[in-house]
Amino acid sequence: MRNNTEQQEEGRGMAVLDHVPEGWKVIDGCTNAPAGYRFISNNKSRFGGEYQHALVKEDVAIEWWFNNT
């Protein structure tokens, strides 16, 4: 069952993923993510037209952080 934050963000067009895809990274220092979530991006330039971002739960982001830093 989806929680309220996931439903709200998907309604706004923001993807909510259950994992950090290969080649993506957790965005450090972003303060406007909903409580319990972190922003991730595909590590492309924001100006190149290929930039994508999404949300993941904070525990998934922390696990990714420990495995990749």
**Long-range Cβ pairs for the range 31-36 (8 Å, 24+):** 34/5, 34/8, 34/9, 35/5, 36/5
> What's the domain count of the chain?
1
What is the residue range of 48's domain? 4-68
For residues 46 and 10, the model is more confident at 46
- pLDDT at residue 4 is higher than 80: no
C-alpha 45 chain-centroid distance: 16
Q: CB-based burial of residue 61 (10 Å sphere; 0-12 exposed, 13-18 middle, 19+ buried)?
A: buried
Q: Which two tokens stand for residue 45?
A: 């330039």
Decide: pTM greater than 0.85. Answer: no
pLDDT tens-place string over residues 19-68 = 999 999 999 888 888 889 999 999 999 999 999 999 999 999 999 999 98
Do the beta carbons of residue 20 and residue 26 sit within 8 Å? Answer: yes
- pLDDT at residue 1 is higher than 60: no
